[in-house]
């Protein structure tokens, strides 16, 4: 007998019930990290913690990658301003 994977909506509902702090932390800090890149660390951590709760690992990893990309681009920008690059 096959086990069915939950739909994305059910998976998000489960994440909201079990780990609302990480779900809303990932969403909120992803938006704010576009303007304040250091908050990408919060996005990356919250996204990583979502992989433990959700059956779809890609959803949390997407947030983690987005947060890390913001932080890395900010570090590269600072290095460029300082003349290292």
2 alpha-carbon distance from chain centroid: 31
Q: What pLDDT does 4 receive?
A: 85
Q: What is the per-residue pLDDT for 1?
A: 53
Report d(CA 30, CA 70) in Å as an integer: 9
pTM of the model: 0.86
Structural domain total, the chain: 1
Q: Is residue 1 part of a domain?
A: no
CB-based contacts of 30: which residues, under 8 Å, 6+ apart? Answer: 43, 63, 66, 67
Domain that holds residue 18: 8-82
Residue 31 within a domain: yes
In a domain, 30, yes or no: yes
pLDDT at 59 over 60: yes
Domain-embedded: residue 2? no
Residue 3 within a domain: no
Query: For the residues 13-29, what does the mean pLDDT come to?
Result: 94
């Amino acid at each position: 007998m096959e086990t069915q994977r939950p739909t994305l909506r059910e998976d998000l509902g489960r994440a909201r019930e079990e780990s609302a702090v990480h779900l809303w932390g990932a969403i909120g800090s992803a938006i704010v990290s576009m303007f304040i890149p250091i908050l990408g660390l919060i996005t990356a951590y919250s996204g990583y913690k979502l992989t433990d709760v959700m059956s779809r690992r890609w959803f949390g990893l997407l947030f983690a990658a987005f947060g890390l990309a913001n932080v890395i681009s900010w570090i590269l920008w600072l290095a460029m301003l300082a003349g290292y690059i």
